[in-house]
């Protein structure tokens, strides 16, 4: 009878330990496999993290990268990579990683990955298509240039060539007197 109780007690203790194991892991276990913690409920406390800002941009633009490795002694930044473009790190402190990513890729969604000596983290960057600019018309001008030329022609058409007279009221007062005195 004592043997049965000891076995049952051991089984209960083992079940209790297993029941609390996920709580211990979520509260700050090593979890160095990624920034999402595997459960999909956000990063683990003490896990590596990385972000890009803005998270959506166009080819030719540059986005900012920030992140950190898990806060354990001796952590180092191994790499930050993305197929979206060229990554330049401006700060490699494992607790304050800063950099830029110049986008050279076609439209799509690309992973951005941080690899530390004690874990990894990842995020995504969405590359949007470039916005179309104004299309040139024959002759190399844009619609805005055509509108400006048309407006200029309309204003010059108001005064026929060679008939630009200055109204008498706009003449200088001294000239008006001089003109009046010479005619009398």
Residue 141 is predicted with a pLDDT of 56
Tens digits of per-residue pLDDT, 119-130? 999 999 999 998
Residue 130 is predicted with a pLDDT of 80
- 11, 13, 14, 161, 183 from 3: Cα distances, Å: 12, 15, 17, 121, 142
Please check the confidence at residue 13 and state whether its pLDDT lies above 70: no
**What residue segments make up the domains of the chain, in order of their start?**
49-128
Average pLDDT, the chain: 69
Which tokens go with 67?
A: 């992140």
Percentage of the chain with pLDDT > 90? Answer: 43
Which contacts qualify for 33-38: CB closer than 8 Å, 24 or more apart?
33/119, 33/120, 34/119, 34/120, 34/121, 34/122, 35/114, 35/120, 35/121, 35/122, 35/123
Please check the confidence at residue 50 and state whether its pLDDT lies above 80: yes
Please check the confidence at residue 164 and state whether its pLDDT lies above 50: no
Residue 18 is predicted with a pLDDT of 37
Tens digits of per-residue pLDDT, 67-110? 999 998 899 999 999 999 999 999 999 999 999 999 999 999 99
> What would be the CATH architecture of the domain defined by 49-128?
Sandwich (2.60)
Cα–Cα distance for residue pair 137/99, rounded to 1 Å? 41
Cα–Cα distance for residue pair 123/126, rounded to 1 Å? 10
Q: Is 43 helix (H, G, I), strand (E, B) or coil?
A: coil
């Amino acid at each position: 009878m004592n043997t049965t109780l000891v076995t049952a007690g051991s089984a209960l203790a083992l079940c209790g330990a297993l029941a609390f194991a996920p709580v211990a892991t979520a509260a700050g276990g090593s979890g160095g496999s990624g920034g999402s913690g595997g459960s999909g409920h956000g990063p683990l406390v003490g896990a590596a993290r990385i972000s890009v800002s803005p998270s959506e941009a166009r080819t030719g633009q540059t986005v900012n990268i920030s992140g950190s490795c898990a806060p354990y002694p001796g952590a180092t930044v191994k790499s930050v990579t993305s197929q979206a473009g060229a990554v330049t790190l401006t700060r490699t402190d494992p607790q304050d990683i800063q950099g830029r990513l110049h986008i050279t890729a076609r439209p799509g969604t690309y992973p951005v990955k941080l690899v530390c000596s004690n874990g990894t983290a990842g995020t995504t960057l969405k590359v949007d298509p470039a916005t179309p600019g104004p299309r040139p018309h024959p002759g190399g001008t844009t619609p805005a240039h055509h509108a400006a030329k048309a407006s200029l022609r309309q204003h010059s058409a108001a005064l026929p060539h060679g008939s630009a007279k200055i109204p008498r009221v706009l003449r200088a007062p001294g000239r008006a007197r001089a003109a009046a005195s010479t005619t009398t």
